[in-house]
């Protein structure tokens, strides 16, 4: 005859029946396992994103490599084996494109115009952005949104009135006229970019400089401008690319042959191929035009990345 269960034993049994037992580790549902459904989806997404990046890299680099290889071939090799390596490196194609096609003169003109306009754009853009970011005055937001609106205005709509304005000011077919137009064309994006960047810089440094007796001008040029170096390099690279590859503005405002820039010279060289057929010189001219852009980006790529992410994390 069994003895009746004690109250403590009954409470323990009820407690055991109320709490379900946890399944063993090998019996966990798939969503809780490290190799479950979430892990598989993450791996598939990771492979897909890396595959798209590799595809994009091939789409960008393959045409560049093909242009470089074609610039080192003869005209016969370009048509007989367009995807093959050159049998002999013909660097004379580059010298022929530089001298006989006037690419050298167009290159020098572009360096002068882009160099001066880039300095003017960065100086005026940084000063305007600093004032809009650090000072409160009536109409500040109106001025800022006018610069932002300038980014959305298509330049093709301003070509006809711009032509007559430049003509009335005697600035057609001049380097300084083209420089002023480049500066005006690049200012909206420069002010928009640098205004946001200057807002991320600490105000305590500028206040300390003012307390020590520095003027607003000295504070800007000697304190705040060096601190904004990553942002200045980033927006400077974008402006350099846009101004170096500009074709529409110089075509309308700069028609004299001795003052043409590199993009106009390449179009002239391509148009002359239907009569001469010097395709190797054409590819050599294309490579000479893109080498400065690639060189600038390779040198400053770390600064560009730092400038784009400077205000993201504090």
Distance spanning both ends of the chain, measured CA to CA: 77
Instruction: State pLDDT tens for residues 120-148.
Output: 999 999 999 999 999 999 999 999 999 99
Q: Which residue, among 195, 199, 196, 292, has the nearest Cα to 240 in the 3D structure? A: 292
- Determine the average pLDDT of the residues in 179-183: 95
What per-residue confidence (pLDDT) applies to 194? 93
Domains of the chain: 92-307 (1.10.3720.10)
pLDDT band at 36 (very low <50, low <70, confident <90, very high): very low
Instruction: State pLDDT tens for residues 38-48.
Output: 456 667 778 88
Residue 173, pLDDT above cutoff 80:
yes
What per-residue confidence (pLDDT) applies to 40? 64
Q: Which of 89-103, 153-167, 256-270 has the highest mean pLDDT?
A: 153-167
Which is higher by pLDDT, 61 or 117?
117
- Determine the average pLDDT of the residues in 37-63: 79
pLDDT band at 88 (very low <50, low <70, confident <90, very high): confident
- Determine the average pLDDT of the residues in 186-203: 91
Q: What is the mean pLDDT of the chain?
A: 82
- 82 phi and psi angles, rounded to 5 deg: -65, -25
Question: Which of left, alpha, beta for 139 (phi over 0: left; psi -120 to 50: alpha)?
Answer: left
Share of the chain above pLDDT 90, in %: 32
- Determine the average pLDDT of the residues in 169-176: 92
SS (H, E, C) the chain: CCCCCCHHHHHHHHHHHHCCCCCCHHHCCHHHCCCCHHHHHHHHHHHHHHHHHHHHHHHHHHHHHHHHHHHCCCHHHHHHCCCCCCCCCCCHHHHHHHHCCCHHHHHHHHHHHHHHHHHHHHHHHHHHHHHHHHCCCCCHHHHHHHHHHHHHCCHHHHHHHHHHHHHHCCCCCCHHHHHHHHHHHHHHHHHHHHHHHHHHCCHHHHHHHHHCCCCHHHHHHHHHHHHCHHHHHHHHHHHHHHHHCCCHHHHHHCCCHHHCCHHHHHHHHHHHHHHHCCHHHHHHHHHHHHHHHHHHHHHHHHHHHHHHCCCCCC
**Lowest-confidence region among 96-105, 229-238, 242-251, 285-294:** 96-105
What per-residue confidence (pLDDT) applies to 276? 64
In whole angstroms, what is the distance from residue 235 CA to residue 118 CA?
10
pLDDT band at 112 (very low <50, low <70, confident <90, very high): very high
Q: Which of 18-32, 171-185, 290-304 has the highest mean pLDDT?
A: 171-185
**Lowest-confidence region among 59-68, 93-102, 280-289:** 93-102
- Determine the average pLDDT of the residues in 71-94: 86
In whole angstroms, what is the distance from residue 71 CA to residue 100 CA?
15
What per-residue confidence (pLDDT) applies to 121? 96
Query: What is this structure's pTM?
Result: 0.74
In whole angstroms, what is the distance from residue 245 CA to residue 44 CA?
39
Instruction: State pLDDT tens for residues 249-272.
Output: 999 998 888 888 988 888 887 777
What per-residue confidence (pLDDT) applies to 305? 67
In whole angstroms, what is the distance from residue 253 CA to residue 170 CA?
11
pLDDT band at 14 (very low <50, low <70, confident <90, very high): very low
């Amino acid at each position: 005859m069994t003895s009746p269960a004690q109250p403590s034993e009954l409470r323990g049994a009820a407690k055991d029946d109320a709490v379900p037992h946890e399944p063993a580790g090998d019996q966990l549902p798939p969503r809780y396992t490290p190799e479950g459904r979430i892990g598989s989806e993450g791996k598939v997404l990771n492979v897909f994103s890396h595959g798209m990046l590799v595809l994009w890299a091939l789409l960008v680099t393959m045409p560049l490599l093909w242009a470089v290889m074609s610039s080192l071939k003869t005209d016969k090799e370009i048509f007989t084996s367009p995807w093959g390596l050159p049998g002999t490196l013909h660097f004379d194609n580059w010298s022929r494109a530089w001298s006989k096609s006037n690419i050298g003169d167009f290159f020098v003109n572009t360096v002068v115009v882009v160099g001066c306009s880039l300095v003017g754009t960065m100086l005026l853009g940084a000063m305007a952005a600093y004032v809009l970011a650090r000072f409160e005055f009536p109409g500040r937001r109106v001025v800022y949104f006018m610069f932002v609106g300038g980014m959305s205005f298509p330049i093709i709509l301003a070509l006809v009135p711009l032509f007559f304005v430049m003509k009335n000011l005697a600035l057609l077919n001049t380097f300084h006229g083209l420089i002023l137009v480049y500066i005006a064309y690049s200012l909206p994006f420069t002010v928009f970019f640098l205004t946001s960047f200057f807002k991320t810089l600490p105000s305590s440094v500028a206040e300390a400089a003012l307390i020590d007796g520095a003027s607003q001008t000295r504070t800007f040029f000697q304190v705040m401008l060096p601190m904004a170096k990553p942002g200045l390099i980033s927006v400077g690279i974008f402006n350099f690319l846009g101004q170096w590859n500009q074709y529409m503005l110089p075509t309308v405002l700069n028609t004299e042959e001795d003052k043409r820039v590199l993009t106009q010279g390449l179009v002239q060289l391509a148009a002359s191929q239907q009569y001469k057929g010097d395709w190797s010189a054409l590819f050599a001219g294309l490579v000479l035009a893109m080498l400065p852009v690639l060189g600038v980006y390779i040198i400053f790529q770390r600064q560009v990345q730092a400038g784009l992410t400077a205000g993201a994390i504090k």
